[in-house]
């Protein structure tokens, strides 16, 4: 198998020395220009073409403008990949995603920093549009939005011994970070909520979670931290861990990165372990911690997962409906892609297997074999 740099490939194409397979690669990029040229006008694209031509061995004056222009346009399309140091691997057959070749009339943007904070008096604060600075005072704790995507609780003791509760909830396509009054940080994934005291008091720090969140718990030996979620009661002193406890997932998972946690008053996790709960059954396995917290690091990571598991993640983050037509593909998928790509990019990567296909209709994704 021969490895060829993109620059070498373009030079061979310009000189007319490409093999059929190499020629197919260059001309495939030309076919994908309607998707990848980002809306350049003909004049703007021609200017880009001229810049490419100037960097190649064949002089622009020797080019036959009418016949060669589309091919040089394809070269301009490839120039981006030159700067990234990408290599093409020449194969006997070139398979291009049907989804990638099809110009989508509309695309779906990724989620972002969106959440609603509900105060003890029922007032709702839309955090996505709230200005930075003080938002409210609850139980003598000052609530502040310090930057887009982060809200912080600071301040004194709860007034008159009364415990007041707040809830932060992310919608489909939302995520948010909250720093609680004890310094514990919780990062909420899409379609999740956390109920917590504005100021902790008593002998423990208890919060209630639906959905998924990553916790960095401030150490306090005198006040253990407890997270109550579906099928799980997680107790810690100070540690880093992730809980996935969505209602529409068949299992609940707690993954430990640092410290130790006690699950349901009977099972202790060590760093690098994951507790999986299905019904009344709890089992502990070695964990892929990078996979468990990929979402908070702005990535989708799939490791031998079926399409239904993957599409539930995509549906939550992109706020879309997923519909299956015909037989559901039973193969497993693996890989990694940024969560900040448009949905078509994620789907096109899945389609590269050639065994699954997607169609976007509004905010609906249709999956077929």
**What single string gives the DSSP state of each residue in 17-84?**
---HHHHHHHHHHHHTHHHHSTT--HHHHHHHHHHHHHHSSS-GGGS-HHHHHHHHHHHHHHHHHHHT
Q: Are strands 205-216 and 225-229 parallel, antiparallel or unpaired?
A: parallel
* Residue 320: CATH number of its domain: 3.55.50.30
Q: Are residues 140 and 275 in the same domain?
A: yes
Asked, for residue 202, whether it belongs to a domain, the answer is yes
Q: Are residues 156 and 273 in the same domain?
A: yes
Q: Are residues 207 and 229 in the same domain?
A: yes
**Is 217 or 3 the better-scoring residue by pLDDT?**
217
* Residue 120: CATH number of its domain: 2.60.120.1440
Q: Are residues 123 and 219 in the same domain?
A: yes
Question: 81-139 pLDDT, tens per residue?
Answer: 333 333 333 333 334 445 544 444 468 999 999 999 999 999 999 999 999 999 999 98
pLDDT score for 341: 93
Domain that holds residue 340: 298-368
Asked, for residue 107, whether it belongs to a domain, the answer is no
Tell me which range, 186-190, 236-240, 303-307, is most confidently predicted by mean pLDDT.
186-190
pLDDT score for 93: 34
Distant-in-sequence, close-in-space partners of 211: CB < 8 Å, separation ≥ 6: 170, 188, 189, 190, 191, 192, 193, 245, 246
Q: Are residues 287 and 148 in the same domain?
A: yes
**Backbone angle region of 286, left / alpha / beta, with phi > 0 → left and psi within -120 to 50 → alpha:** beta
Q: Are residues 261 and 234 in the same domain?
A: yes
Q: Are residues 128 and 76 in the same domain?
A: no
pLDDT score for 155: 80
Q: Are residues 263 and 332 in the same domain?
A: no
When divided into structural domains, the chain yields a total of 3
Q: Are residues 128 and 274 in the same domain?
A: yes
pLDDT score for 27: 53
DSSP result, 265-310 = TTEEE-TTEEEEEETTEEEEEE--HHHHTGGGGTEEEEEEEEHHHH
Look up the pTM and report it: 0.72
pLDDT score for 171: 97
Q: Are residues 136 and 282 in the same domain?
A: yes
């Amino acid at each position: 198998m021969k490895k060829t740099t993109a620059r070498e490939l373009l030079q061979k194409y310009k000189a007319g020395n490409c093999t059929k397979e190499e020629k197919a690669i260059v001309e495939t990029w030309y076919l994908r220009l309607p998707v990848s040229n980002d809306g350049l006008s003909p004049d703007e694209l021609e200017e880009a073409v001229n810049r490419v031509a100037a960097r190649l061995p064949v002089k622009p004056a020797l080019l036959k403008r009418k016949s060669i222009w589309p091919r040089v346009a394809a070269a301009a399309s490839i120039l981006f990949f030159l700067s990234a140091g990408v290599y093409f691997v020449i194969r006997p057959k070139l398979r291009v995603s049907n989804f990638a070749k099809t110009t989508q009339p509309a695309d779906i943007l990724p989620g972002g920093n969106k959440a609603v904070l509900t105060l003890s008096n029922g007032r709702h604060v839309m955090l996505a549009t709230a200005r930075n600075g003080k938002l409210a005072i609850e139980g003598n704790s000052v609530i502040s939005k310090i930057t887009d995507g982060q809200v912080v609780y600071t301040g004194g003791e709860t007034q008159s011994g009364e415990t007041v509760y707040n809830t932060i909830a992310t919608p489909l396509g939302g995520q948010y970070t909250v720093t609680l009054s004890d310094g514990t940080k919780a990062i909420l994934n899409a379609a999740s909520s956390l109920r917590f005291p504005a100021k902790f008091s008593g002998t423990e720090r208890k919060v209630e979670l639906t959905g998924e969140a990553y916790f960095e718990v401030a150490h306090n030996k005198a006040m253990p931290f407890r997270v109550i979620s579906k099928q799980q009661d997680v107790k810690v002193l100070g540690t880093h861990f992730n809980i996935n406890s969505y209602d529409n997932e068949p299992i609940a998972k707690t993954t430990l990165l640092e410290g130790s946690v006690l699950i349901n008053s009977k099972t202790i996790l060590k760093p690098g372990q994951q507790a999986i709960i299905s019904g009344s059954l709890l089992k502990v396995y070695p964990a892929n911690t990078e996979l468990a917290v990929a979402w908070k690091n702005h990535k989708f990571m799939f490791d031998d997962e079926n399409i239904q598991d993957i599409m539930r993640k995509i549906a939550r983050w992109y706020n879309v409906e997923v519909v299956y037509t015909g037989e559901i593909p039973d193969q497993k998928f693996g890989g990694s892609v940024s969560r900040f790509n448009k949905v078509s990019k994620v789907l096109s990567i899945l389609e590269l297997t050639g065994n699954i296909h997607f169609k976007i209709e509004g905010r609906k994704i249709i999956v077929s074999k």
